[in-house]
Amino acid sequence: MAAPMLRWVGRGRLWTFARVDGGSCHRRGAPTGSTSNRIRGQSSVAQQPLYTTQKPRKGEHKWAAVVGLEIHAQISSNSKLFSGSQVRFSAPPNSLVSFFDASLPGTLPVLNRRCVEAAVMTGLALNCHINKKSLFDRKHYFYADLPAGYQITQQRLPIAVNGSLTYGVCAGKKQSQVIPKTVRIKQIQLEQDSGKSLHDDLRSQTLIDLNRAGVGLLEVVLEPDLSCGEEAAAAVRELQLILQALGTSQANMAEGQLRVDANISVHHPGEPLGVRTEVKNLNSIRFLAKAIDYEIQRQIDELENGGEILNETRSFHHQLGCTMSMRDKEGKQDYSLFSQEPTLFLSVAACPVGVPSPKCGVWLSIRPWLQCDASDDNELQELPVGFLLPSEARLTHRRDLAVRFMPEPNLPPLVLYDATSLPAGADPQQVINIDQIRETLPELPRVTRERLVQQYGMLLEHSFTLLNEVGLLEFFQNVIKETRAEPKKVTSWVLNTFLGYLKQQNLAVSESPVTPSALAELLDLLDSRTISSAAAKQVFEELWKGEGKTPGQIVSEKQLELMEDRGSLEQLCHSVMEAHPQVVMDLKEGNPRAINKLIGLVRKATQSRADPAMIKEILEKKLSS
Amino acid sequence: LLRRLRQENPLKQGQITPTELCQKCLSLIKKTKFLNAYITVSEEVALKQAEESEKRYKNGQSLGDLDGIPVAVKDNFSTSGIETTCASNMLKGYIPPYNATVVQKLLDQGALLMGKTNLDEFAMGSGSTDGVFGPVKNPWSYSKQYREKRKQNPHSKNEDSDWLITGGSSGGSAAAVSAFTCYAALGSDTGGSTRNPAAHCGLVGFKPSYGLVSRHGLIPLVNSMDVPGILTRCVDDAAIVLGALAGPDPKDSTTVHDPINKPFMLPSLADVSKLCIGIPKEYLVPELSSEVRSLWSKAADLFESEGAKVLEVSLPHTSYSIVCYHVLCTSEVASNMARFDGLQYGHRCDIDVSTEAMYAATRREGFNDVVRGRILSGNFFLLKENYENYFVKAQKVRRLIANDFVNAFNSGVDVLLTPTTLSEAVPYLEFIKEDNRTRSAQDDIFTQAVNMAGLPAVSIPVALSNQGLPIGLQFIGRAFCDQQLLTVAKWFEKQVQFPVIQLQELMDDCSAVLENEKLASVSLKQ
């Protein structure tokens, strides 16, 4: 099944990479490249990073890690998957809840067309086979933020299957080379998001916010073709870019629109796969890479020390930088329950959700749960009020319960059409045409990068950087539009100077004090040789202060125009030489590098307004005379 | 007796105003309170609706056949602002914020909502005996016809404790219509819950094709089999109500969009010679009472003598039907009941040790043994290790059962004629000797296969038994041929001339009779 598809994807396409802080697998092991993983039948992964133990002994065992991802992307839609409630981030708690979302008895799901189209579009962009007929299932488990007691998903026959995602990881001395990789996509399924539970330890209660309950999700299941955190991070980043390009998901991890669970195991190449663990709650790409690499190393260490790996769910603690068994964590909290004051219940019987009424009792605001996590945890940015539960809800972790499936009886099979199967005279509002959606596919990141390389002659890795930073490509294109400067110059300025300043101050492109027009004007000044590149840097620094001056104004105020007057420059050179006889002596005694010092001094005297080439020429002339 | 709303509607003829009619029904509800037919009587709502209806009649703007007509609704349909309990502790005090589509459609037609009728808890049962508000009593227990027969029987003893069950689970709706407290009532039909009490209460009980009538707002038992049912005193009335209810609903994705013939005007068949009636031989079971059996056979003879073709047909998978139904029903029940956790609506226990403990205690207190038992077996069938062996197999058997019907209809049969129940209604004390499950398995024997196949079916009262109790027969039609089915049923109804229930004694006995109330009961039986 996988083989022809992988061939189809092929090499020679363009890939993404992601920069990952630390923990890169390439640094840890000795990549042999010769061991292919037969079990997974992988051919497209160029190198399998192999791990050695930290203290190799007993004939040096090498380890290979196997990583699979389940990615939940919130569909960008106006209303929820099966109800008419609005989808909006950070609305007041329980304000976007329909009767269906609150699972009032007798309510039925009605499928949102937009969500189906988003799934088809994403499937097409990821080279999936779109199933003309797909089915919905109920997945049952008891959890306070799952009001119906089941989630509607697509377990048996999902909307899209057998796709692939091409991405790239960076390698080489300066991490400047891009290695193409492919990960197979098992399936994409439509499903409902759950609500949110917040556990308030201080008051021993749980609060439920159902705003998110029923929002449409695309669950993208990747085959376990990944072998380290960096690959996983790069693959997720590429998926994120694709979703954003398609507009099917905003895929903002900080807002929980893209959530990743990782399945991780290690084994000796050629031997059966090891027991896997699942790491959940990965809410940034950086943490994803860190968590996976930590977990791989933890498993290796555990096995090396004669321990065993439990098939369990773990969470990543971003401050400690380690994964922890969720069971342990919950167990620990369990002890503290006894010392806490009794739980306060609110009676919400027969009260429409989301409508505060006297029957609901007092609406409470709570303090953040577990102070140490509060600053990082996106889920806690809003302090919800709502329905109360006793605090032990966290003990019923969903994976610990026997999950039962059943076909969803209230939704007929989802039937999609293409140009050939579309029934004549079908109401376009009632049918979804795959071919029509295919025609509306926008340019995918891969193609954008190809275009950038061809059109502007930039390096491939530069095109990756342009796409990876949110808003940077648009900024770049706006500068290009307005300036006469060469694209290579623009690329260099945007990727080095501009991005450098942003990074230094930890700003997003949208927060930049320098507008594309200002940079374009600056580059024009440089291009017309009105200012030197050193002066341009100075102007840029001024622009960064955000005082609203144009580059032209700054140049004239600071008198940064290139010194075109050869006479005065000669004059300056002369005075500098006279003021530094020792340097001149050095030069004359056969130290040619000393001229650079003189050049530097002259430039300083001109406030960088002179062309260094001209200075050098004058100095040389004077010295030789 | 006001039977045919279309021709004999006294409101249209101005003989009575909607408010007067409403008040008469309300007083009858009070008089027959001991039947336990209603859980909630929505007196104020009904009177207000009657007032509005009256205005429309005065202005000549009547909304149609149902304008001003008192109806009752089984208490598992959501009614905005009116408590909806499913006869369960779990939903005591639950007031839905919205109307079920079928309820809304009745109100849109100007019907008066008299109240919410009693049932088995969450419609799980066949006697209307297992609800938290107590059993429903069959009005025929108090009929002149039944009492006279009993007087002749030297063995009959204590009359008060010898009352009969209505059948179920829509027994409250059946009793309400049978006792003249309303003209039509909504039941729900998952395995026979409308047809069974209709047969026991001498009514027309109609189960439409699955997908013809919206389930939105019906608190589900088995989503893939549930259908809102209609209980009336004659076939024409059922057709009028069906005409108001049928049609696609954007809130229920399982309703069909094909245009249907509306309104459901039923032609009077003059001639049945082109009809072919099928008699499924597997329905002749040893448990069938001889009286029902002989009426069934007489009915077949009637069709034959009038020129219809009567064929014996085979539905070979009938014997697997009940077991299959049990697996599918309990599995969906387990799933549907998962939402009742005490968090957002309904009952919540006082236990607050943990969420799990709260869930468990809430569900123990909220559900009766029958519901809990079905949830337990359903969850067992849905367990990963059992899913293939039970649920998937049952689904396959369901397909075979549905195909049985398809094959029968493909052989040229227009409608099937079967018994509705094994026998007439039994006394409560007799009924409760068996547990709910056994009873349901027996009582649903002729009715549940139809639900698995999604077909329309109707129970028509045929005659009184030797004990003076009604016996019904069932007609089953092709999917979405509801109109044809009802047309045949109407012809049959006309031939058999089922007697009207005589309740004067009941009315006289059971109330401190006021003069005007006496009049009220008389005027309804004009």
Helix (H), strand (E) at residue A186: strand A177-192
* Cβ neighbours for B17, distance < 8 A, ≥ 6 positions apart: B11, B50, B54, B57, B68
Name the residue with tokens 């077909």.
Answer: B455
What span, in angstroms and rounded, lies between the C-alpha atoms of B208 and B242? 8
Given CB atoms, is B354 within the 8 Å cutoff of chain A?
A: yes
A126 three-class SS: coil
Confidence at residue B153, expressed as pLDDT on a 0 to 100 scale: 73
Name the residue with tokens 């939105």.
Answer: B216
Check A106 against B253: CB less than 8 A apart. Answer: no
Nearest CA in chain B to A393: B355
- pLDDT tens across A296-315, in order? 999 999 999 999 999 988 98
The token pair that represents A85 in the structure block: 């409630």
What span, in angstroms and rounded, lies between the C-alpha atoms of A525 and A555? 9
DSSP state letter for B498: P
Indicate whether B266 belongs to any domain. Answer: yes
Nearest CA in chain A to B384: A404
- In DSSP notation, B177-228 reads HHTTS-SEEEEEESSSTTHHHHHHHT-EEEEPPTTTB--TTBPPS-TTT-EE
Q: Which domain range does residue B126 map to?
A: 1-322+392-515
Q: Name which of A44-53, A75-84, A174-183 the model is least confident about.
A: A44-53
Nearest chain B CA: its distance from A397 CA (Å): 11
Name the residue with tokens 């075109």.
Answer: A564
Q: Angle, nearest 10°, between helix axes B369-382 and B436-443?
A: 70
Task: State the pairing for strand pair A137-140/B204-207.
Answer: unpaired
Given CB atoms, is B200 within the 8 Å cutoff of chain A?
A: no
Nearest chain A CA: its distance from B219 CA (Å): 4
Helix (H), strand (E) at residue A566: helix A566-579
User: Residues of A with CB below 8 A from B78's CB?
Assistant: 104-106
User: Residues of B with CB below 8 A from A196's CB?
Assistant: none
Q: Which region, left, alpha or beta, applies to residue B60 given φ > 0 means left and ψ of -120 to 50 means alpha?
A: left
The token pair that represents A9 in the structure block: 């994807």
| Amino acid letter for position A274 | G
What span, in angstroms and rounded, lies between the C-alpha atoms of A192 and A471? 30
Place A476 in a pLDDT band, splitting at 50, 70 and 90: very high
CB–CB contacts below 8 A, A to B: 146
Confidence at residue A477, expressed as pLDDT on a 0 to 100 scale: 94
Q: Of residues A533 and B500, which shows the higher confidence score? A: B500
What span, in angstroms and rounded, lies between the C-alpha atoms of A411 and A153? 11
User: Residues of A with CB below 8 A from B348's CB?
Assistant: 345, 347, 349
**Exposed (0-12), middle (13-18) or buried (19+): which is B269, by Cβ within 10 Å?**
middle
What span, in angstroms and rounded, lies between the C-alpha atoms of B251 and A390? 35
**Structurally, how many domains does chain B consist of?**
1
Given CB atoms, is B226 within the 8 Å cutoff of chain A?
A: no
Closest by Cβ to A108, choosing from B94, B215, B348: B215
Indicate whether B245 belongs to any domain. Answer: yes
- pLDDT tens across B407-424, in order? 999 999 999 999 999 999
User: Residues of A with CB below 8 A from B216's CB?
Assistant: 106-108
B150 three-class SS: helix
Closest by Cβ to A105, choosing from B339, B359, B391: B339
Closest by Cβ to B223, choosing from A147, A396, A409: A409
B399 three-class SS: helix
The alpha carbon of A607 is separated from its chain's Cα centroid by a whole number of angstroms, namely 43
Confidence at residue A50, expressed as pLDDT on a 0 to 100 scale: 66
Nearest CA in chain A to B214: A108
Closest by Cβ to B348, choosing from A103, A349, A411: A349
Question: How many other CB atoms sit within 10 Å of the CB of residue A289?
Answer: 29
Nearest chain A CA: its distance from B211 CA (Å): 11
Place A384 in a pLDDT band, splitting at 50, 70 and 90: very low
The pTM for the full model equals 0.83
What span, in angstroms and rounded, lies between the C-alpha atoms of B203 and B72? 15
Kindly state the average pLDDT of the residues A174-179: 76
Indicate whether B254 belongs to any domain. Answer: yes
Nearest chain A CA: its distance from B169 CA (Å): 18
Backbone φ and ψ of A469, nearest 5°: -85, 125
Model confidence at B113: pLDDT above 60: yes
Contact B89, B366 (CB under 8 A): yes
Kindly state the average pLDDT of the residues B44-71: 94
* Cβ neighbours for B3, distance < 8 A, ≥ 6 positions apart: B233, B234, B236, B237
Which range of A10-19, A166-175, A529-538, B6-15 scores highest in mean pLDDT? It is: A529-538
Instruction: Report which of B145, B114, B135, B146 is spatially closest to residue B28, judged by C-alpha positions.
Output: B114
User: Residues of B with CB below 8 A from A390's CB?
Assistant: 352-355, 358
Closest by Cβ to A148, choosing from B96, B339, B353: B339
Instruction: Report which of A268, A219, A220 is spatially closest to residue A66, judged by C-alpha positions.
Output: A268
For the sheet containing B112-117, what is the strand order?
Answer: B38-41, B112-117, B70-74, B184-189, B227-232, B204-207, B457-464, B470-477, B415-419, B276-280, B309-313
A164 three-class SS: strand
Contact A178, A18 (CB under 8 A): no
Given CB atoms, is B513 within the 8 Å cutoff of chain A?
A: no
What span, in angstroms and rounded, lies between the C-alpha atoms of B352 and B52? 48
Check B78 against A349: CB less than 8 A apart. Answer: no
Question: How many other CB atoms sit within 10 Å of the CB of residue B271?
Answer: 10
What span, in angstroms and rounded, lies between the C-alpha atoms of B466 and B462? 13
B298 three-class SS: helix
What span, in angstroms and rounded, lies between the C-alpha atoms of A89 and A74? 11
Indicate whether B365 belongs to any domain. Answer: no
Nearest chain B CA: its distance from A173 CA (Å): 51
- pLDDT tens across A68-124, in order? 999 999 999 999 999 989 998 878 888 888 999 989 999 999 999 999 999 999 999
Kindly state the average pLDDT of the residues A468-479: 92
Name the residue with tokens 């050939």.
Answer: A420
Indicate whether B355 belongs to any domain. Answer: no
When the pLDDT of each residue in chain B is averaged and rounded to a whole number, the result is 89
Q: Angle, nearest 10°, between helix axes A472-482 and A445-456?
A: 30
Instruction: Report which of A286, A508, A290, A284 is spatially closest to residue A377, judged by C-alpha positions.
Output: A284
Task: State the pairing for strand pair A137-140/A414-415.
Answer: unpaired
Model confidence at B220: pLDDT above 70: yes
Closest by Cβ to A142, choosing from B222, B345, B359: B359
Given CB atoms, is B383 within the 8 Å cutoff of chain A?
A: yes
Kindly state the average pLDDT of the residues A186-207: 82
Helix (H), strand (E) at residue B93: none
What span, in angstroms and rounded, lies between the C-alpha atoms of B131 and B120? 4
Place B73 in a pLDDT band, splitting at 50, 70 and 90: very high
Domain with residue B264: its CATH number is 3.90.1300.10
Which B positions 69-108 lie with beta carbon below 8 A of chain A?
A: 77-78, 86, 91, 93-98, 100
Confidence at residue A547, expressed as pLDDT on a 0 to 100 scale: 87
Nearest chain B CA: its distance from A282 CA (Å): 26
* Cβ neighbours for A580, distance < 8 A, ≥ 6 positions apart: A597, A598, A601
User: What whole-number percentage of chain A has pLDDT above 90?
Assistant: 46
Length of chain A: 625
**Exposed (0-12), middle (13-18) or buried (19+): which is A353, by Cβ within 10 Å?**
buried
Nearest chain A CA: its distance from B203 CA (Å): 27
Contact A372, A319 (CB under 8 A): yes
What span, in angstroms and rounded, lies between the C-alpha atoms of A367 and B211? 49
| Amino acid letter for position B219 | I
B432 three-class SS: coil
Indicate whether B120 belongs to any domain. Answer: yes
Contact B8, B507 (CB under 8 A): no
Confidence at residue A402, expressed as pLDDT on a 0 to 100 scale: 59
Please compute, for residue A214, the number of CA atoms within 13 A of its CA located in the half-sphere on the CB side: 29
Helix (H), strand (E) at residue A218: strand A216-222
Name the residue with tokens 């539960």.
Answer: A389
Nearest CA in chain B to A145: B343
Indicate whether B511 belongs to any domain. Answer: yes
Contact B420, B195 (CB under 8 A): yes
Which B positions 391-450 lie with beta carbon below 8 A of chain A?
A: 391
Q: Angle, nearest 10°, between helix axes A516-527 and A533-544?
A: 160
Indicate whether B342 belongs to any domain. Answer: no
Nearest chain A CA: its distance from B251 CA (Å): 6
Check A150 against B223: CB less than 8 A apart. Answer: no
Given CB atoms, is B34 within the 8 Å cutoff of chain A?
A: no
Catalytically annotated residues of B: 74, 169, 193
Q: For the CA atoms of A333, A337, A338, A343, what is the dihedral angle to 10 degrees?
A: 180
Check B384 against A404: CB less than 8 A apart. Answer: yes
What span, in angstroms and rounded, lies between the C-alpha atoms of B469 and B291? 11
Given CB atoms, is B343 within the 8 Å cutoff of chain A?
A: yes
Q: Name which of A6-20, A241-255, A565-579, B60-74 the model is least confident about.
A: A6-20
What span, in angstroms and rounded, lies between the C-alpha atoms of B45 and B39? 15
Check A148 against B344: CB less than 8 A apart. Answer: no
Q: Which region, left, alpha or beta, applies to residue B105 given φ > 0 means left and ψ of -120 to 50 means alpha?
A: alpha
Confidence at residue B514, expressed as pLDDT on a 0 to 100 scale: 32
Probe site for chain A from B327, B352, B382 (most A CB atoms < 10 A): B352
Probe site for chain B from A98, A100, A104 (most B CB atoms < 10 A): A104
Instruction: Report which of A468, A415, A436, A419 is spatially closest to residue A121, judged by C-alpha positions.
Output: A436
> What are the CA-CA distances from residue B406 to residues A367, B258, B399, B416 (Å)?
63, 20, 10, 12
State the ipTM, two decimals. Answer: 0.93
> What are the CA-CA distances from residue A127 to residues A162, A172, A188 (Å)?
8, 29, 11
User: Residues of A with CB below 8 A from B346's CB?
Assistant: 349-350
Helix (H), strand (E) at residue B312: strand B309-313
Closest by Cβ to A390, choosing from B345, B346, B352: B352
Q: Name which of A386-390, B429-433, B462-466 the model is least confident about.
A: A386-390
Alpha helices in A184-325 (DSSP H): 229-246, 285-304
